[in-house]
Structure 1
Amino acid sequence: MERYIEWRGFSFTHLRPETFMQNLLSYGGTQVVQAGLIRQFVGDARLSWVDAEDVALAAAQALLHPERHAGHTYRLGYDAKSYHEIAALMADVLGKPFRYEPVAPEVFLENMRAAGAEMAYMHCVYDHYKRYAAHTLPGADDVFDNFPGIAGREPVRWRQFIEKHRAAFDY
């Protein structure tokens, strides 16, 4: 799609967000963190994370200031952490035990099939989970320093995100 937009001659700013921090609040309508337990499908992989509100701010800046952002492609990921590291940080910030339990990516696919999800997309997510867990997805934990130039402030990091959503994670 990006190449098509460029080929057609449209003005553009491509935003490429990495993994959304909000995925820990809920995913597919299911609460992800339950009583201090995080169950996910990526093994011990470190991922690059971004607050979705920072993505929205980047999009707003691109729309408000096209003269500054047109023709640019921005990867948006600012805090590389594994779920083990996130659980430890949650415990530190919230003062309660949190732990991460890795689950095989095949369980995700089975759960989605049982829930009646759109399987073409779910197979894509499953493939990413498998590749994360196997550490074969290049750049999965890359972080970038472009946000201050885009938005005029530092991006949200995990500690801030946990504090901001304290009530959602507390038990």
Structure 2
Amino acid sequence: MNEGTQMRILVTGATGIVGRHVVDRLVRAGADVRALTRNPAEANLPPQVEVVEGDLTAPASVAAALEGVERVYLFSVEESAREVVALAAQAGVRRIVVLSAASVTAGLHTNPVERAVEESGLEWTHVRPCGFMTNLLQIWAPSIRAERVVRYPFADEPMNLVHEADIAAVAVAALLEDGHHGRAYTLTGPGLVTIREQVAAIGDALGEPVRYEEVTRELARELMKAQGGFAAESADLMLGFVEYGGDAAKGADGYADQDWSALMRVWPDVEQVTGRPPRSYAEWARDHVADFR
């Protein structure tokens, strides 16, 4: 990946779950990395990274960050996508890699960011992960640390999850290598995993039992709302009290061909792009063991 030393790459969402991994991988590859964040003082990124202030919801604040940039890792912010992409094209950006979602592959909704990039004339790649293995970390970690217990419904319902490091690995390959233009990669782990299996894997990583208590959706919602933050914000969607995709899922914008099975398949894209199998949930649990202590 010597090509990375010849270009400047802007990473948006640089302090996020995936963005930090993207930044670290690009730095290791020798790329000239500029990181966009709303709060540079708290970014805590590698010292060789140029950290700049900007907010994707306010496109004008991103214009300066795009100057001299050849490639962009774009975190999806739907309402400002066309303005941000237009600014990128005006600045001379040649390639954009979009962090999207597997729900687009399944036809459950459309992503205006994908459309904006495709219609821009720039080189594009869409990275569409299934559920993040990390999504439940913020919800479960407090009770695991305090009581070594998880209280959640859906004990034996299989989930298709992917390690955030694998998402970043695919995104970085698409940023640095040729041959990914016009591709949409759907990313999963190596197999489906249930809530009960996830809790057991966390216990194995800790080296001590973590108890699982299955509770009703209503009680889980109450606990998550009381927890605040991400847990409170995501409770209704994660627990099925609201439908994912809204009107788009019903075909209001012409995307009526839904394929729920696409979200339950193990996709080969991580291995095809990176040359290595996707990480398992057990590996993820070991990577995050400090979060549960």
Which of 1 and 2 has greater Rg?
2
1:154 equivalent in alignment to 2:265? no
Structure 1 segments unaligned to the other structure (5+ residues): 132-136
The correspondence for 1:127, drawn from 240, 256, 260, is: 240
CA contact (8 A) 1:40 1:103 kept: yes
Taking a change above 3 Å as real, the CA distance of residues 6 and 37 of structure 1, as seen in their structure-2 partners, is same
CA contact (8 A) 2:186 2:267 kept: yes
Overall identity of the aligned pairs, in %: 30
Taking a change above 3 Å as real, the CA distance of residues 81 and 110 of structure 1, as seen in their structure-2 partners, is same
Taking a change above 3 Å as real, the CA distance of residues 130 and 43 of structure 1, as seen in their structure-2 partners, is farther
| Residue of structure 1 equivalent to 2:192 | 80
The correspondence for 2:287, drawn from 152, 164, 170, is: 164
Structure 2 segments unaligned to the other structure (5+ residues): 1-111, 245-259
Taking a change above 3 Å as real, the CA distance of residues 7 and 108 of structure 1, as seen in their structure-2 partners, is farther
Deviation at 1:106, TM superposition (A): 3.6
Q: What CA distance in whole angstroms lies between the structure 2 residues aligned with 1:98 and 1:61?
A: 37
Q: Taking structure 1 as the reference length, what is the TM-score of the superposition?
A: 0.72
SS at match of 2:159: strand
CA contact (8 A) 1:25 1:32 kept: no
Q: What CA distance in whole angstroms lies between the structure 1 residues aligned with 2:130 and 2:210?
A: 24
Deviation at 1:83, TM superposition (A): 0.8
Q: What is the root-mean-square deviation in Å for CA atoms of aligned residues?
A: 3.4
Deviation at 1:52, TM superposition (A): 0.8
Q: Taking structure 2 as the reference length, what is the TM-score of the superposition?
A: 0.46
Q: What CA distance in whole angstroms lies between the structure 2 residues aligned with 1:69 and 1:128?
A: 37
| Residue of structure 2 equivalent to 1:134 | none
Q: What CA distance in whole angstroms lies between the structure 1 residues aligned with 2:278 and 2:143?
A: 23
1:9 equivalent in alignment to 2:109? no
CA contact (8 A) 1:105 1:130 kept: no
Q: Summarize deviations over 1:62-94 as a string: whole Å, max 9, x none.
A: 1111x2211111111113100112223334454
1:101 equivalent in alignment to 2:213? yes
Deviation at 1:44, TM superposition (A): 2.7
Taking a change above 3 Å as real, the CA distance of residues 149 and 138 of structure 1, as seen in their structure-2 partners, is closer
CA contact (8 A) 1:38 1:87 kept: yes
Q: What CA distance in whole angstroms lies between the structure 1 residues aligned with 2:242 and 2:152?
A: 9
SS at match of 2:265: coil
The correspondence for 2:131, drawn from 11, 15, 19, is: 19
Taking a change above 3 Å as real, the CA distance of residues 105 and 140 of structure 1, as seen in their structure-2 partners, is farther
Q: What CA distance in whole angstroms lies between the structure 1 residues aligned with 2:285 and 2:242?
A: 23
**Counterpart amino acid of 1:80?**
L
Aligned length: 163
| Residue of structure 1 equivalent to 2:87 | none
Q: Which has the higher contact order (CA 8 A, sep 6+)?
A: 1
Q: What CA distance in whole angstroms lies between the structure 2 residues aligned with 1:97 and 1:106?
A: 26
CA contact (8 A) 1:15 1:59 kept: yes
Q: Summarize deviations over 1:3-54 as a string: whole Å, max 9, x none.
A: 3432343321111111111224324x96363433222344531111111121
Q: What CA distance in whole angstroms lies between the structure 2 residues aligned with 1:81 and 1:25?
A: 15
CA contact (8 A) 2:237 2:243 kept: no
